[in-house]
Amino acid sequence: MWFDGDNYDAVYERLLIAYNVDSQKELAKVMGINASNVSGWMRRKNIPGNAIVTCALDTGISVKWLATGELENSSLKGGSNKLQGLVGKSLYDMVLSAGGKPILRRMLDAYGFEMQKELGDRFNLSSGTISSWVRRDFFPGDIVVTCALETGVSLRWLVTGQGDMKGEAAFSLPANENVTDIPKYQLLSGELKSVGSWACDKALIPASVSSPAFVDGTKNSWVIDRDAKTISNGRWFVDLDGAIDVCDIARLPGNKIKVSSSSAQFDCDVSDVKPVGLVFLTLEKHI
């Protein structure tokens, strides 16, 4: 994910900084692992997510900074390790043994998913791959780091089940009065699934919008006003017979509307659809 190829050197340097060491040998010693493990990372130019998780828990430093380097230097002061008695090798062993069904359940809870298939769709993983985690009590470090970064849940809670899910964020962004967090949803199979929050520039939200939310889809994403309840001309998220979809709507005489979506176009009474939110910003994906 972020831990191989061109990003490898930067992640490796941040591990050295986090532990305040200067060499592969010192890094291996402080983490309580064999020096050959670190040498293997160097040869393959790949750092396992397990090492990122262990370092974040061990030093208290932001997992976001370790993985991406995006936080400012003022945010690099290590916090306290609240896993009393677990450091280095003992902590690394605990992380490796924290796999299987419990970690899968907490990742599903973090994303607001109910089924393994939803998590598989999120990461383009087969159901067989996820089932193998449970059978082998495997700890999918890269996926765990991604989950913590994307949902903002506590890394300690995600790995161990200790503490509150949201009580200790996996990372914190520098305060910015021009940025606000709005609810984030994913459009999946006709439903809006809550998947945390989305940091948004306040300038993108019109003053008339009272309840903004971000919706992530396959090819597009949208920012909507959930308080808009009177159907008008424009792009809307609507509930039609229990399934939610995004549609372009045009008002017609006789209290009727023309509904156009990516899969169908039809006329109906305005009362046949239930408004979920008015789209005021559409983001198109090109990759």
Please report, as a single letter, which amino acid is at residue 250.
Answer: A
Better pLDDT: 287 or 103: 103
Over range 122-149, report the average pLDDT: 86
User: Regarding the domain delimited by 179-284, which CATH topology (the fold level of the hierarchy) does it fall under?
Assistant: Umud Fragment, subunit A (2.10.109)
For the cut 50, the answer to whether the pLDDT of residue 171 exceeds it is: no
Over range 5-18, report the average pLDDT: 75
User: Residue 113: which residues within 8 A CB-CB, separation 6 or more?
Assistant: 119, 122, 193
Over range 160-164, report the average pLDDT: 77
Confidence of residue 176 (pLDDT cuts 50, 70, 90): low
Q: Mean pLDDT of all residues in the chain?
A: 82
So what's the pLDDT on residue 73?
Answer: 42
Residues 229-268 have pLDDT tens digits of: 999 999 999 999 999 999 999 999 999 999 998 888 999 9
So what's the pLDDT on residue 244?
Answer: 94
So what's the pLDDT on residue 91?
Answer: 66
3-state secondary structure the chain: CCCEHHHHHHHHHHHHHHHCCCCHHHHHHHHCCCHHHHHHHHHHCECCHHHHHHHHHHHCCCHHHHHHCCCCHHHCCCCCCCCCCCCHHHHHHHHHCCCCHHHHHHHHHHHCCCCHHHHHHHHCCCHHHHHHHHHHCCCCHHHHHHHHHHHCCCHHHHHHCCCCCCCCCCCCCCCCCCEEEEEEEEEECCEEEEEEEEEEEHHHCCCCCCCEEEEECCCEEEEEECCCCCCCCEEEEEEECCEEEEEEEEEECCCEEEEECCCCEEEEEHHHCEEEEEEEEEEECCC
Confidence of residue 175 (pLDDT cuts 50, 70, 90): low
Residues 48-87 have pLDDT tens digits of: 888 888 888 777 777 777 877 775 443 444 554 444 455 5
The domain limits of the chain are 5-160, 179-284
For the cut 90, the answer to whether the pLDDT of residue 39 exceeds it is: no
For the cut 60, the answer to whether the pLDDT of residue 214 exceeds it is: yes
What architecture (CATH level 2) is domain 5-160? Orthogonal Bundle (1.10)
